[in-house]
Amino acid sequence: MANPKDAVKEKSMIIQKEMLAKQFNDLSKARETGKKVCYTFVPGNLIELILSFDMLPVYPEINALQSGMRKKSAGYIKDAEKMGHSEDVCTYVKCDIGMMLNGNIGPTGEKLPDPDLLLLSYTGCFTFLKWFENLNRLYPNAEIAMLHTPYQEDGQITQEQIEYMIKQLKEDVIPKFEKVTGKKFDEAKLKKLLDNSVQAEDYWVKILQLAKNKPSPIDAYFAGVYYMGPINTAFRGSEECLEYYKELYKEVKERADQKLLPVTPEGEMKHERFRLVVEGPPNWTNFREFWKIFYDMGAVIVASTYTKVGGVYDLGYRQNPEKPLESLATYCMGCYTNLNLPQRVDLIEKYVKEYQADGFLINSIKSCNSFSAGQLMIMREIEQRTGVPVGFIESDLVDPRYFSYANIKNRLESYFQMLEQRKIILSQESLTV
């Protein structure tokens, strides 16, 4: 087993680390280079449009989760609460605001630049609206653009909704970009970026679907949050994003061909004892300890909903370079947090069956209503539809006060015992047939 101080990393993780280091270095020099900066959010983010104007993106929730992993979130949250933010407020918001109050220092130790543009492409989370208001108070000189995304209440995207989104893009969002950057909208450049996105999306889906192999060569939850980084944040549409997913697919396919199990911070897994589908974000303050519980139990997550927070590409959606604005509109409305509850249940049922999962587990996040609403109903539905055992644990995004290692470990051990018992029963039944 690896030294606890030295997490084992795959080649793709190292490549991504270099990409991120360059991104934050560019941000630290934005004022020197004259680059304009856009603050935005992950679900439904318009990164291709941002890159088409040569702007640098900053994602406040990414700042928060990185602060959580670096053990800085507790202090930031306390500072935000001293300002009057409630304990019940999303801890991403409080961590991000606390980080800004403490100099807005990024993960590389360099100060992040103030935004020139605040871009909110709302997708299924009302908290983003209030978060945006707080960002506006902190940065009153920034230009503001809001793209209101209709919620998929009836489980479908209508042409009327698409036209409503395109109208906003043409009349409000793009003009704000042009005002901030002094550049005219370049549709040809946007189309090229979207073409790169389509290719990266193809690779991303192929990577995720390799988890259908037995054993799975990847963990689609814990490792998945690394894998999804470039396509969900600052790089989708870029050449380097496409190259990253080409390399990642090659790496994971090779592992699948050799019937190797996922690489974890503790080393390569040796035995796939359980295959799980997981709903909900992970806990970031104790990420490695959380992952290790599953590693010790031989549990591999073969599909997760959290890796779809930036786009449910495995349902067939791809960007369309020939209709760039319609493509951006459809993308925003198709993110996981913009799906209604019946759609979410259908998706999870599909994952349990197609990935031949032994069980379904929910990690309910105390301060995230966007994910946590309806989870008990989802759990009951999946149990009835698939017959697999369901489990339920609770933690938080970046507030260490709401992560109880002993409690979560005990619950998971009981859950895994239930899975093991079911395996024994199914094995005995197959012998008697």
Domain of residue 275, CATH code = 3.40.50.11900
Inform me whether the pLDDT recorded for 389 exceeds 90.
yes
Residue 234 domain-assigned? no
Give the model's pLDDT for residue 10.
67
pTM above 0.85, yes or no: yes
pLDDT reported for residue 150: 93
Dihedral over alpha carbons 115, 116, 118, 119 (to 10 degrees): -120
**Residue 208: inside a domain, yes or no?**
no
> Per residue in 410-421, is it b (16+ CB within 10 Å) or e — as a string?
ebbeebbeebee
Task: Count up the domains in the chain and report the number.
Answer: 2
Co-location of 180 and 318 in the same domain? no
Mean of pLDDT values over 10-27: 85
Residue 7, pLDDT score? 62
Backbone angles phi, psi at 57, to 5 degrees: -90, 150
Task: For residue 392, tell me if it sits in a domain.
Answer: yes
Interatomic CA distance for residues 172 and 308, integer angstroms? 28
The CA distance from 94 to 73, in Å, is: 9
Measured CA to CA, the distance from residue 343 to residue 361 in angstroms comes to: 18
* Amino acid type, 10: E
For residues 248-268, give the mean pLDDT: 95
302 and 388 co-located in one domain: yes
Phi, psi of 334 (to 5 degrees): -100, 5
Q: Is the pLDDT of residue 124 over 60?
A: yes
Buried (b) or exposed (e) across 238-274, using 16+ Cβ within 10 A? beebbbbbeebbebbeebbeeebbbbbbbeebeebbb
83 in any annotated domain: yes
Task: Please give the average per-residue pLDDT across 332-345, as a whole number.
Answer: 93
Which of 168, 185, 202 lies at the terminal end of a domain, its last residue?
185
pLDDT of residue 34 exceeding 70: yes
pLDDT for 87 equals: 84
Residue range 126-185, pLDDT digits in tens: 788 888 888 888 899 999 999 999 998 899 999 999 999 999 999 999 999 999 999 999
Q: 69: phi > 0 → left, psi -120 to 50 → alpha, else beta; which?
A: alpha
Same domain, 144 and 275: no
Per-residue model confidence (pLDDT) at position 6:
61
Q: Which two tokens stand for residue 94?
A: 């409080």
Residues 34 and 170 in one domain: yes
Average pLDDT of the residues in 1-12: 58
The answer to whether the peptide bond before residue 215 is cis (omega within 30 degrees of 0) is yes
pLDDT score at 126:
77
- Does 13 score more than 80 pLDDT? no
Q: CA-CA-CA-CA torsion for 254, 255, 259, 261, nearest 10 degrees?
A: -170
* Residue 3 forms part of a structural domain: no
Give the residue from 309, 271, 318, 302 showing the smallest Cα distance to 208.
302
- The amino acid at 209: Q
pLDDT at 106 over 90: no
Instruction: Kindly state the average pLDDT of the residues 252-275.
Output: 95
Residues 138 and 279 in one domain: no
Q: Average pLDDT of 379-394?
A: 97
- Cβ burial, residue 431 (10 Å; 0-12/13-18/19+): exposed
pLDDT at 112: 94
pLDDT at 252 over 90: yes
Which of these three, 128, 154, 185, is where a domain ends?
A: 185
Q: What is the pLDDT of residue 352?
A: 98
Q: Is the dihedral of CA 31, 118, 236, 104 positive or negative?
A: positive
For residue 101, pLDDT beyond 50: yes
- Does residue 237 have a pLDDT over 50? yes
Domain final residue, candidates 164, 185, 206: 185
Length of the chain: 433
- At residue 8, the pLDDT reads 59
Residues 22 and 134 both lie in one domain: yes
Q: Domain of 80?
A: 11-185
Band of residue 18 on the pLDDT scale cut at 50, 70, 90? confident
- For the segment 26-53, the average pLDDT, to the nearest whole number, is 95
